[in-house]
Structure 1
Amino acid sequence: MSQPHAESRTLIAEDLLLLLMDDEKGRLAAASYAQPLFGGALLAELALDGAVEVEEKRGMWHTAKVHAVHPPAGGAAPDPLLARAWEVVAEKPRTAQGLVDRLGRGVRKELQDRLVARGILERRETKILGLFPSTTWPAVDVQHEQQVRASLRDCLVIGLMPTPRTAALVALLAAVDQAYKVLAPGDLTSQRGELSPREVKRRAKAITEGDWAAKAVRDAVAASQAAISTAVMVSTTTAATST
């Protein structure tokens, strides 16, 4: 079995994908709104790198826009996904709502392919009922995913201060109401007993609104979170009215 490249940092979008994938079935829990979710994750990553920022809101009727500041970190060889996302932001100022779908277009498959190349997922081609082609992406190395989940438990259950990357990940999970669901049942027990979904959601909200990074970064992540939440609401409403 191939091993993941330890020296290479995973993107927040990749961590998000791993958390939301069923390790055995190889399917994504949030497939219906994957595009804005992963687009928002790329936008949040650019914000953490200081590559983009959200302008100050100037009144009730003003919609703040995202501006490119400088290319993402990485020297002569930045991450290609982040570099492409930054180029989209740099085209012209856009709202976060206008960016998340644009940035997330086609990203899910690319993230899966990247994780296969790193030996974390495996691509399997099957047929449903022996007729219809289907592709699944089961996990083959869960070590990194377990580390990410442990970081989430540290802040959501134990109450430790999250790193900026973990706090951004919490904000993105909260946007799709998955902060509680990605924790294993055994992870929800603290010294005060087992936490309820409501308590985990409350803690996720507190982390998202906390002072975990510079204001410019928090503003950009908050804009990404709001844009994803809106996209999910629209998707849910559309699905409900079409049935």
Structure 2
Amino acid sequence: MPADHGASTLAEDLLLLLFQPDSAPPGPAGATGESTLAHALAGAVLTELGLGRHVRTVPDGVGAIRLEVVAQHPPADDILRHAWDYLARGPRGIPAALDAIGPDLRDPLVDRLVGRGDLRRSHRTALGVVDVETFEDGGSGRRERLLAAVRETVVEGARPQPRIAALAALLSASGTLPQYGPGIPWTAAVVARAKKLEQESWGATATAAAIARTVTAAVAGHL
């Protein structure tokens, strides 16, 4: 039975969506490069800290924003707490925070997805000597549900919940949304809705929306 790790984080949901069962070998990076993956996952972490009101924005004096923690309001989740502790050392610009937080996220997030049963991990030997880690869909159905919610938002124009809007915006900013066809056709209407999600508040607080917009712009800038 899969281990119970509680509610999933936005970064876990994003990584699960980025899992590409048809890639060779199938894996959570899918068609996106590791650098882009790291920044996208870090963007999801920062966005969730904003949605949870664990961080706030402060001006940096040159027209951009920095993030600082809300004192005495750390997140309960260990991965989010690690990012919060980093920001607690002092306000950080979002690009710097993405660079610092992103590289260490993939492995613990994969472990959570495997532990929850969303992914199934196995190993095989390549060329007789190299141990290659491979993944399959775990059969939980959660990836399909998340993808259906994103599809309703960007294809059908449904009004999304903040977390789904954030997922769609991060997929768009990371350049990975086109790989979900034909279910999510890369049409002009879909592109327009996805770009709009990168820039709108979608029901989040003003602070969370400002963080999310800056995060998605920074993720897109790393492509």
TM-score (norm 1): 0.81
Aligned pair 1:116/2:119, yes or no?
Answer: no
CA contact (8 A) 1:179 1:201 kept: no
Secondary structure of 1:84 counterpart: helix
1:228 aligns with 2:214: no
> Is the 1:4–1:120 contact (alpha carbons within 8 Å) kept by the matching residues of 2?
no
Q: Is contact 1:180–1:200 with CA below 8 Å preserved after alignment?
A: no
- Cα deviation digits, residues 179-238 of structure 1 (max 9, x gap): 2323x52x34xxxxxx54332121111122224112111110112112212222xxxxxx
> Separation in 2 of the partners of 1:196 and 1:152?
13
- The whole-number CA distance in structure 2 between the counterparts of 1:90 and 1:105 is 19
Q: Which moved more, 1:119-128 or 1:9-18?
A: 119-128
- Measure how far apart 1:57 and its partner are: 6.7
User: 3-state SS of the aligned residue for 1:9?
Assistant: coil
Name stretches of at least 5 consecutive residues in structure 2 with no aligned partner.
none
Aligned equivalents of 1:167, 1:57: Cα separation in 2: 27
Q: Secondary structure at the match of 2:101?
A: helix
Query: Residues of 1 paired with 2:198 and 2:137: CA distance?
Result: 29
1:4 Cα deviation after fit: 6.3
Query: What aligned pairs does 1:22-171 form with structure 2 within 5 A after superposition?
Result: 22-23=20-21, 25-27=25-27, 28-29=29-30, 30-33=32-35, 34-56=37-59, 61-70=62-71, 71-73=73-75, 78-171=76-169
Shift of the alpha carbon at 1:125? 1.5
AA at the equivalent of 1:32: E
Give percent identity, aligned residues only.
Answer: 29
Aligned partners of 1:56 and 1:63: how far apart in 2?
6
SS in structure 2 at match of 1:23: coil
Q: Work out the number of aligned pairs and report it.
A: 216
1:229 and 1:118 map into 2 onto residues whose CA distance is: 30
Q: Which of these two proteins has the greater Rg computed from alpha carbons?
A: 1
Hey, what's the Cα distance between the residues in 2 that align with 1:101 and 1:196? 29
Whichever structure has more strand as a proportion of its residues is 2
Secondary structure class of the residue paired with 2:125: strand
Distance 1:106 1:196, change over 3 A: closer
Answer whether contact 1:50 1:217 (CA < 8 A) is retained.
yes
Q: Return the offset for 1:35.
A: 1.6
Give 3-state SS (helix, strand or coil) of 1:173's partner: helix
Taking only aligned residues, the RMSD between alpha carbons, in angstroms, comes to: 2.0
Which stretch of the first structure deviates more once superposed, 96-105 or 117-126? 117-126
User: Alpha-carbon deviation of 1:137?
Assistant: 2.2
Whole-Å separation in 2 of the counterparts to 1:87 and 1:57: 20
Separation in 2, partners of 1:204, 1:72: 31
Specify whether residues 135 and 217 from structure 1 end up closer, same or farther in structure 2 by C-alpha distance, changes over 3 A only: same
In the aligned structure 1, how far is the partner of 2:59 from the partner of 2:103? 27
Letter in 1 for 2:26: G
- Over 3 Å counting, the alpha-carbon distance change for 1:207 and 1:231 in structure 2 is closer
Give the equivalent residue in structure 2 for 1:203: 193
